Chains A and B, each alone.
Chain A
Amino acid sequence: MSKTIHLTLKIWRQNGPGDKGRFETHPAKNISTDMSFLEMLDVVNEQLTLEDKEPIAFEHDCREGICGTCGTMVNGRAHGQLKGTTLCQLHMRHFADGDTLVIEPFRARAYPVIKDLVVDRSALDRVIQAGGYISVNTGNAPEANTLPVPQDRAERAMDAAACIGCGACVASCPNASAMLFVSAKVSQLALLPHGRPEAARRALSMVRAMDACGFGNCSNHRECEKTCPKEISIVNIARLNREYFKAAFISQEN
């Protein structure tokens, strides 16, 4: 049985990158508990539009929890309080009638605010461009058994590949470090034979790109793995460190 709840939103408003920004309070009335968090924001925006006010800008795309586009801080938690969930998959049944929600954009020096809750996460793309790929000549697909991959290894690579690049790890990290993201992207390739030929160069250049983007440094607080909507483990960060040390101190790559 669906019911409706009334909420108060304390929400970050910022007209543009240069604007100072401020918190505004908006009511969210008659919210069905079957709605997702983003649908609740849609309802608030419809009301704002009717009142001839500027709607709240927020990012969203698939609304199925797989694209990594959405995400804001809700009461101090990236993607809200529910474990292993993106904001679009957080439903209003997890909130109580009369709740006050503080909604802020993801904050990091590497994530400049574009408008309201929308931040520029292209720093993550620059890290991928630095090495988050393998180089293969196109042509016929090779025979599948040429490169045997043990099942458990394939599973671990898939666990790392579950990263949707939403950037919540950076937002939740007390140091705004991107280590969980970078480690997932390095790990998914480092675990498979296809990724080994470029593993050393990848580890060096992706860490270099990460540092150049102005992310913080990992202090092993583990906030990232607890917040990650795909529950990616910091075991991947240990693997990135191993890959980096091998590449920096043993390999011939610079």
Chain B
Amino acid sequence: MNWFSAALGSSVGKKLMMALTGLAFIGFLAAHLAGNLTIYGGKAAFNGYAEKLQSLGPLLHLFRAGLITFALVHVLTGLYLFWLNRRARPVGYRMHATAGGRTLSSRTMPYTGIVILVFVIFHLFHFTFVDKTATTVFDMVAAAFNQPAYVLLYAALMIVVGLHVRHGFWSAFQTLGVNHPKVMPTVSAASIAAGAVVALGFGLLPLVIALRY
């Protein structure tokens, strides 16, 4: 297995790990958003979705273990790359202008990533790791988003997640070697769309909850 760790430890291998785990998280976001959208169906639909998820039992635990493993790989590799890349230019430029390659999304990747990590931990303690014997998920969410501060906080953070996805999505394809004149225009457009769907899809939910319930 020496060859395997050597391959993953190389600069290209580290990117491969970022790309695969990143794509997995985009898949997770899609599933999470699909679940959250049941809130448009009202209290019963949303609580029903939550109960269904809980009833998966061991499967849910397996899924969570996978997510945590992927998160560890993505976050630790990402932070290591961030450190390596800063170290690769110890003396900086007095003036460093863009030639038109960098985007707001690409240049902020490490920072949006760290913000998302902090948010995910907060979010888990806010809604997931809480005692739900006396309440339902719906009541908990409705109570939280009746406070304007939470609505603003979540909406702002979803823009951050959208920015991260906007560069991460196409970037994963490029890293996996899928850059071809036939597919790249579609992947680039899909990347912008994915970022927008994440930012708007999740970001509007707190507002909808606040206004409707």
Give A contacts to B, CB under 8 Å: 10, 23, 73, 75-78, 81, 83, 102, 104, 107-110, 172, 174-177, 179, 207-208, 210-211, 214-227, 234-235, 237-242, 244-245, 248-249, 254
Contact = CB atoms under 8 A, between A and B. Distances in A.
A245 B91 contact: no
Of the four ranges (under 10, 10 to 19, 20 to 34, 35 or more), the interface on chain B belongs to: 35 or more
B1 interface: no
Contacts of B84: 216-217
Given A77-B97, A175-B89, A222-B106, 8 more contacts: A107-B91, A174-B85, A174-B107, A207-B11, A210-B11, A217-B15, A219-B106, A241-B177
A188 to B, nearest CB: 17
Nearest to A244: B12
Nearest to A21: B91
A208 B10 contact: yes
Nearest to A179: B11
26 contacts: A10-B94, A75-B95, A76-B97, A77-B97, A83-B99, A104-B94, A107-B91, A107-B92, A110-B88, A172-B99, A177-B11, A177-B88, A207-B10, A208-B10, A218-B15, A218-B175, A219-B81, A222-B102, A223-B98, A225-B101, A226-B100, A238-B178, A241-B15, A241-B174, A248-B6, A248-B13
B96 A216 contact: no
B97 A241 contact: no
Nearest to B87: A109
Contacts of B12: 207, 240-241, 244-245
Contacts of A78: 99
Interface string B1-17: 00100110011111110
Contacts of A224: 101
B93 interface: yes
Contacts of B7: 244, 248-249
B167 interface: yes
A223 B101 contact: yes
Contacts of B31: none
Nearest to A246: B177
- Counting chain B CB atoms within 10 Å of each CB, the highest count among A83, A107, A254 belongs to A107
Nearest to B8: A248
Contacts of A176: 85, 88-89
B102 A75 contact: no
B42 to A, nearest CB: 42
Contacts of B177: 238-239, 241-242, 245
A107 B179 CA distance: 29
B100 A216 contact: no
A197 B15 CA distance: 26
Contacts of B102: 174, 221-223
A34 to B, nearest CB: 25
Contacts of A175: 85, 88-89
A76 B93 contact: yes
Nearest to B98: A223
B174 to A, nearest CB: 5
A7 B107 CA distance: 32
Contacts of B3: 248, 254
Nearest to A211: B11
B212 to A, nearest CB: 40
A241 B175 CA distance: 6
Contacts of B176: 241
B95 A102 contact: yes
B41 interface: no
Interface in B137-175: 167, 170-171, 174-175
Nearest to A210: B11
Nearest to B172: A220
B167 A220 contact: yes
Contacts of B11: 177, 179, 207, 210-211, 215, 217-218
B90 interface: yes
A99 to B, nearest CB: 13
A224 to B, nearest CB: 7
A109 B90 contact: yes
Contacts of B179: 234-235, 237-239
B205 interface: no
A108 B97 contact: no
